Amino acid sequence: MIELKNKRVLVVGLGKSGLAAARFLKARGARVTVSDARPATLIAELPQLLDEGFVVESGSHGLLTFRRQDLIVVSPGVPMDVPELMTVRAMGMHIVGELELGAQFLQGQVVAITGSNGKTTTTALVGEILQAAGRPTLVGGNIGRPVTEMVEESTAESWSVLEVSSFQLETVESFRPRIALVLNITPDHLDRHGSFAAYVAAKARITEFQTAEDFLVLNAEDVEAQKIAAQAGPERRRAQVYWFSAARRVKQGAFVHGESIFFAAKEGAPPEPVMPVAEIALAGRHNVENVLAAVCAARLAGVDAETIRGAVGAFRAVEHRLEFVRELAGVRYYNDSKATNVDATRKAVEAFAGGVWLVLGGKDKDSDYTTLGPLLAERVKGVLTIGTAAEKIARQLAGVVKIEAAETLEQAVRLAHAQATPGDTVLLAPACASFDQFENYEHRGRVFKELVQGL
């Protein structure tokens, strides 16, 4: 466990996680400085931080400030190739992320969930199942509450269900979840990681410090997950591997057979029925996979099948994930603002048979939109592009589907509303980050819902 009392600690980045880390450190006796590259006028929390006694550096990162520390805590939104970080890392400075910091103090058992898509829904669902089973449960990480905010409520009996991103996993040095889930790995955040290989390597770190006493749950239909499995196993003192599949039976894990979900506790053991697929209230095949992953996690945590069935049946879509907004004049509107990469958008469109008016665009992440072509040609009536990625999307999908440049989300909603006919669906699934026009994907989703409700 990191010693904090009287240590000089620098927190880099004042997002939600950075603020939580700064307050966590100060409460434990550290001498905390916070640094953010934004100018002081854009840091809304600055007056409060000064009132609380923090030393705040804004507008740029000072190398001297970095070199004076005993420990540096990096917010997930801050890339590790910031020059000051690269310099002090080369000097041997101790650098961790907020996830690693909080996890070292977190009591009880941890379920950690990562993947390119489905993390938030699966995290929320596992939390609901554990709560239904009567377990003291905390949910957070990359969603909701930062890990450092969860520490005080954690006990030896509690279960912390954490969504963890590739950004967070980059800086772990001892993070060891009892149960780790990798839902899928498809190209995402290539603008941050530089290559798909680097992105995959970051995701794989979720299991790096697990032992043979722990569990690793992987998607049997995902090629990159299969590669991670090859690195695990008792011979390397790594986690016990369990699988999930919506396409075929697996020897150890959760799968769909006929119209029901089954779980095989051990290879060779008879699988037990868990629930009918029809009782899943979430739309889309990808959500069947999310449920299968959650079934694995819950059974490995000791929750019985009946409790799982009840919790899954009662679970509804998480906000901004294929969230039904309203029906107007026979047209249904869905908010999937969390679809921030191409694969997430593909899964969202696949949830509908056809008649889709799709809002695409935002801040590009070095994505290839051409892979959406065949699906859009089959199911989408028109694409409304927004944000800085609009021109690239229009260029890569030219001739595949009708494309209109809407520029703003407000204009996109108006254009879709004007052209959609009864039976159609208007879907916000942008395949891009939101930071060109919005604070985050949640802000984008809220604005979309307000615009739709105002029609």
More confident residue, 405 or 77: 405
Give the containing element (helix H, strand E) for 287.
helix 285-300
CATH H-level, domain 100-314: superfamily:
Mur-like, catalytic domain (3.40.1190.10)
**How far is 200 from 250, CA to CA, in rounded Å?**
23
pLDDT digits (tens, 9 = 90+) for 310-349: 999 999 877 888 899 999 999 999 999 999 999 999 989 9
Alpha helices in 318-434 (DSSP H): 342-350, 373-379, 390-396, 409-419
Based on the residue annotation, tell me whether 335 is a catalytic residue of this protein: no
CATH value of 8-93 in 1.10.260.40, 3.40.50.300, 3.40.50.720, 3.30.70.270? 3.40.50.720
Written as six digits, the tokens of 196 are 């798909």
- What's the whole-number mean pLDDT along residues 139-166? 95
First to last CA, the chain: 54
> Is pLDDT at 430 greater than 60 in this prediction?
yes
Residues near 3 by beta carbon (within 8 Å), at least 6 away in sequence: none
Q: Which of 119, 193, 203, 381 is catalytic?
A: 119
In total, the chain counts a number of residues equal to 455
> Is pLDDT at 235 greater than 70 in this prediction?
no
Domains 8-93 and 100-314 share a fold: no
Q: Which of 26, 61, 142, 335 is catalytic?
A: 142
Written as six digits, the tokens of 54 are 């923090």
**How far is 268 from 256, CA to CA, in rounded Å?**
17
Least confident of 59-68, 156-165, 429-438: 59-68
Ranges of each domain in the chain: 8-93, 100-314, 323-453
| Confidence (pTM) | 0.79
**Which fold would CATH assign to domain 323-453?**
Protein-Tyrosine Phosphatase; Chain A (3.90.190)
Based on the residue annotation, tell me whether 142 is a catalytic residue of this protein: yes
> Is pLDDT at 236 greater than 70 in this prediction?
no
Based on the residue annotation, tell me whether 227 is a catalytic residue of this protein: no
Q: Which residues pair with 182 in a beta bridge?
A: 114, 218
pLDDT digits (tens, 9 = 90+) for 366-392: 999 999 999 999 999 999 999 999 999
pLDDT band at 232 (very low <50, low <70, confident <90, very high): low
Reported in sequence order, the residue ranges of 315-377 that DSSP labels E, i.e. its strands, are 323-328, 331-335, 356-361
- What's the whole-number mean pLDDT along residues 291-317? 96
Q: Which of 189, 286, 347, 381 is catalytic?
A: 189
**How far is 102 from 141, CA to CA, in rounded Å?**
10
How far, in Å, are 57, 119, 421 from residue 217 at the CA level? 42, 13, 43
More confident residue, 454 or 80: 454
Mean pLDDT score of the chain: 92
pLDDT digits (tens, 9 = 90+) for 270-286: 999 999 999 998 878 88
